[in-house]
Amino acid sequence: MINKGRKFFSILLIIIVLITICLLGYLIYGYISNAIITREASDTVDDFENIITVGIEQEENTANTENITTGGTQTNVNQNTSKSTKVSYKGYNVIGTIQIPKTKVKYPIVDSTTPQAMDVAIVMLYGPGLNQEGNTVIVGHNYRNGGFFGRNKNLENGDKIYITDARGIRIEYTIYNKYITSDSDFSYATRETNGKREISLSTCTSDSSKRLVIWAKED
């Protein structure tokens, strides 16, 4: 009986060790994977914003050269999307960036709303466009490792969100509303902003049964 008992506990100990190793491996893999994604996303944001800066400087230099040549005056830089701002991320065209200092979010926003795009990036789901008048909906997954919008639940009224678009315009938005709603509720997307620039961040709750929605407005 004693030998059988020892054998049982030995097998149990081996099983516990194997389970522990698997769990640790899963956690380490998740951490490393999230770190790689975060680094790639951050590098893409930097590339996008650097290219925009270069594009705007080139446009300004061209405008200045034309003014000198023609003797005319020109005070406004063309704010249309620059041909030089083509940056891709995971195979999708980047149309802007989002940064949330409190949750250390720094991701590109891509131009596709397919499930495949949402698996790898933040997307613009609905609205007039980034930094345009009206309400623009930006969507990201709530990953358990804290990636994408996984830490949106920690955001509060007064926290800041920064959106940079393909024209090089960077707008600071301040959070003023946060709530949970059903996954069939889309009223937050079609709400009226009275001509103001606003954004709505949307993600699923931790149990994926509902949606966490955050409203923010331009300061």
| pLDDT tens readout for residues 104-144 | 999 999 999 999 999 999 999 999 999 999 999 999 999 87
Whole-angstrom distance, CA of residue 139 vs CA of residue 166: 18
How far apart are alpha carbons 60 and 55 in whole angstroms? 9
Q: Which domain holds residue 49?
A: 2-218
Residue type, 192: E
Pairing mode of beta strands 210-218, 170-182:
antiparallel
- Domain harbouring 160, CATH code: 2.40.260.10
pLDDT tens by residue, 148-205:
999 999 999 999 999 999 999 999 999 999 999 999 999 999 999 999 999 999 999 9
- φ, ψ dihedrals at 199, nearest 5°: -135, 155
Q: State how far the Cα of 135 lies from the Cα of 210, in Å rounded to an integer.
A: 21
Phi, psi for residue 218 in degrees, rounded to 5 = -65, 135
Question: Global pTM?
Answer: 0.75
161-to-82, 83, 88, 98, 136 alpha-carbon distances in Å: 24, 26, 22, 7, 13
Residues paired with 160 in a beta bridge: 174
Split into its structural domains, the chain has a count of 1
